[in-house]
Structure 1
């Protein structure tokens, strides 16, 4: 069989891709297009706008990268970009850029990632030399447009990848400003894991009669195990670190991410898990890019097996060996849950999504089930007996592997000598005991109390306060409430406050806590570590077109 004939069996040939791309895909081991690639590539090749809903891990990068490369002009190309791909994070910019480079190597494709935190001089030089595809974070792209170093006159295609994440991070205005600078004749492609109303609004404004596709995670046949096994454990707050260790001991993940709400929680839990013998690494917004790169290198090369991170810090990460995602707290929005579990269960492998829920969080679990259209099984925290059984099973497996693969002949003389005095079964049990203890198996542990899952009906309902009064509400641990001097009478809505904070400070939308809007003011919970940054940033911007008073809340209950 000739190489070209072999390409015809891949399934990609039927999509009208160039031979150079088919050869690249064959070399990379791609055999059949994923559902999103099969549905998205033909309309994108035809120049049609597209609105796609697809989770991480469904193959959407290739779904838009391959049509871009297929439509690149042959021969000598101009220096201005043919396509612009906007992504929410530095990590995703690098990831998409590397993928485009791999697919388009034989075409000589010039691809450039541009993002903050990288010396701008190199980006300026590469843009001046000429590029075909720019993969950029919105802020840095807008910076280059303002400098006249990113020229968009020849742009044919704009891709908004992970659009919901970009909006959550406060990039809505940047995206609008960038799209205004692009030719009206451009093809616009938008991919998002979720489809909140804001995404539909952008699509209506900027996409022309788009093809709409929605790709769910590949379902399994009846009787088969789900690709992502989703479970929850009900745990009192004080016992959560011990419960996490217990669950991970039983699950024995290849690599796992544990999502926390705040930097302080990340640092504390990382220290706790290292104390339990895990090789845990912290990742949060208080770390510099060099520190982040070192952490990710340790995770990818296997010197760390547990990443404890905030949502914002973990955006855009793609870890090949990841098997488990753990929500240390129930996510405040179903969309956050969708993004998190999208990191596992890829390429036919089973992934595991675990949530540690406090009893009062029952309703949020039910909401997540409804949005994701999949069941989250509530399980009992493993008991001490379960843990012992699991550890003994691991010891048994290690011994079995040693008997099958190791050269044990040198130890025969020890067994023969002991056999003169002891029964062979007793000798074997003593050897297993030593192997079990040498594995680091812990001694007896305290049982974690079982807590029944209940709804919120036992929580006191807030009664409406009288005019001019407000009743203080307990602030979540690790959070501080700030006062914003604008409320309902000024037309302020929660999304206005989230957008202002995420757009002007270093805090991401997912890190913002409860928001209360009164007639003349609003109260917003933010992590303790970010209070001064948020206050300073909001004082320098406007909300609903005007400057407002911003300070720590000074209210004290009577």
Structure 2
């Protein structure tokens, strides 16, 4: 662990960064450094080697990019790249390169990403024109070193980002060869979510008296729900596709990654989920880079909601709107679990990690809990009755919105003749039945056999307070909470973070005060503390969400009558 160098640090200016970088950070809306940035930036500005153990989403890219950029701004007379950033995947190379561009815009720093699947001729021309920072996958970096287009003897700093991922992908020999080609007096920085023994061997050979930093993911204060809710469901193999569909129906993720073990499993599950009406896309090593790019474009653009992927294919992916990660099988190593769930709950946003465990895999869950020191709560798979209750709740809310907002006069010609023959309540019930069934409510009638968790899991579940159920779906609100109706939903591209940001920004509530959020096509339901409900309603009526002023009210009038 590092010394507590971050005492008294409350802003980026306190870290000793130059005015150009401070202006860039201010323009990007960065107000204060994250823990990894507070700990890592000062020793890196001093030129020290560093080992940083930090989860994805803790701000580690800025932690190494900012001090490197500051060093480059005073490094004149250089012809080749001064910094080489090695990353495991093309996607991460692009992300890190974009971050360097954003932070170093005022310094005129030249950055180029190089990776497989991109024309090497274009990369050779970019390197020939001159570049300050190269962000590369190890194989392509070694290729350019062999061609003489990347001159390692001029490199003053090497960063190994997601080092454990690169070693898992078989890049160990490439990395060591690259490090041997660079000068002995270079600076070496290593960031990794986990530090297995093979990482320690690498650092012992190539780092000099490194500063060591270990930063965990931001934890919720005691008594509050965790930023990443981690649940597991024990399900027999034959019922896993049905159980996954049931959980997706109940959770209603904005976007989710479902991890599978093999390409065949990815393709089969993608086909199954699409057959159930989901918008699912496959991603695995058997696809070309163009195919991968199209898939990721559909996910980021909202035309796909589920990504079914293998570990290798999904490495380095960063999808901002991701709300859920699903382990279709229990990962074989705790490190894989850490990397998978690291894709949600980033930058303070909440997320959900779900694991489907076969009975024989139940013990592996305990191993993951022990290694990660995080609780994985074993739950029961929602029943058909649970699913029906939630869909009825959504149908009721949709009908209420229509009664409040829509001009229904054009349907009088249908309703009036029916009321001459039937009671108006019977007409209403028939209409509700049609609306309910049109939502696909009758599509899932298979009861999934429940496999009782072990006694310890049951006791742990009983101990959880009402406050730990931040993501309740349907039913009544949590104790002390009330549900607000907001007249914007998926069709207006509303995401949970939009609603949390609007409420926290306009009222006195923090993000952690806000309970379950449910987003339908034309409206959203948000749980807030009963004591603050009127304040939130008034505050939101004065602002806009996604550029629009939606209807804001309590979910239902307490008298049962239509509000006027």
| Interval containing the TM-score (normalised by the shorter chain) | 0.7 to 0.9
How many pairs were matched up?
447
Which position in structure 2 is the counterpart of 1:137? Answer: 137
Deviation at 1:92?
Answer: 0.6
Tell me the CA shift for residue 131 of structure 1.
0.3
Matches within 5 A, 1:329-340: 329-340=329-340
CA separation in 2, counterparts of 1:107 and 1:117? 30
CA distance in 2, matches of 1:87, 1:402: 51
Q: Map 1:254-265 to 2 at 5 A.
A: 254-265=254-265
Distance of aligned partners of 1:412 and 1:231 in 2 relative to their CA distance in 1, 3 Å threshold:
same
TM-score, length of structure 1 as denominator length: 0.77
Please name the residue that 1:65 is paired with.
65
**Structure 1 counterpart SS, 2:254:** coil
Q: What does residue 463 of structure 1 align with? A: none
Displacement after TM superposition at 1:49 (Å)? 1.0
The question of whether the paired residues in 1 share the 8 Å contact of 2:218 and 2:348 is answered with no
1:275 is aligned to 2:280: no
Deviations 1:173-231 (A, max 9, x none): 11111011111221111000001011111111111111111111111112211111111
Tell me if structure 2 keeps the 8 A contact 1:79–1:128: no
- Aligned CA distance change for structure 1 residues 452 and 48 (closer, same or farther; 3 Å): same
- Does 2:284 match 1:284? yes
Task: Work out whether residues 263 and 286 of structure 1, in 8 Å CA contact, stay in contact via their aligned partners in 2.
Answer: yes
**Map of 2:5 onto structure 1:** none
User: 1: distance between equivalents of 2:121 and 2:281?
Assistant: 32
Task: Say if 1:329 and 1:357, in contact at 8 Å, map to a contact too.
Answer: yes
Corresponding position of 1:122: 122
Structure 1 contact 359–453 (Cα < 8 Å) conserved? no
Contact 1:57/1:346, CA 8 A, preserved across alignment: yes
User: After superposition, where does 1:23-38 map in structure 2 within 5 Å?
Assistant: 23-38=23-38
Q: CA deviation at 1:73?
A: 3.1
Instruction: Tell me how far 1:393 sits from its aligned partner.
Output: 2.0
Bigger shift: 427-436 or 150-159? 427-436
Verify the 8 A CA contact 1:362 1:454 in the aligned structure 2.
no
1:90 matched to 2:85? The reply is: no
> 2: CA distance between counterparts of 1:407 and 1:207?
70
Give the drift of 1:413.
6.7
In structure 1, list runs of 5 or more residues that go unmatched. Answer: 1-8, 456-558
Q: Could you tell me how far 1:406 is from its partner in structure 2? A: 4.2
Counterpart-to-counterpart distance in 2, 1:341 and 1:302:
21
Is the 1:283–1:308 Cα contact (8 Å) retained in structure 2? yes
Shift of 1:407: 4.6
Q: Are 2:28 and 1:17 aligned?
A: no
Aligned counterparts of 2:380 and 2:61: Cα–Cα separation in 1: 39
Contact 1:90 1:137 in 2 (8 A): yes
Q: CA deviation at 1:418?
A: 5.5
Shift, 1:313, TM fit: 0.5
Matches within 5 A, 1:384-463: 384-408=384-408, 410-411=410-411, 424-443=424-443, 445-453=445-453
> Cα–Cα, structure 1 residues 444 and 327, in superposed 2: closer, same or farther, change >3 Å?
closer
Q: 1:444 to 1:117 in 2, by over 3 A?
A: closer
- Please, which moves more after superposition, 402-411 or 430-439? 402-411
Q: Deviations over 1:99-127 (max 9, x none)?
A: 11111112111101111111110111111
Q: Is the 8 A contact 1:53 1:215 kept in 2?
A: yes
Partner in structure 2 of residue 363 of structure 1: 363
In the alignment, what sits opposite 1:173? 173
Question: Partners of 2:193 and 2:305 in 1: how far apart?
Answer: 27
- The separation in 2 between residues aligned to 1:134 and 1:172, in whole angstroms, is 19
- Distance (whole Å) between structure 2 residues aligned to residue 334 and residue 156 of structure 1: 35
Distance 1:409 1:14 in 2: 64
Structure-1 residue corresponding to 2:298: 298
Partner of 1:39: 39
> Is 2:325 the partner of 1:325?
yes
CA contact (8 A) 1:87 1:135 kept: yes
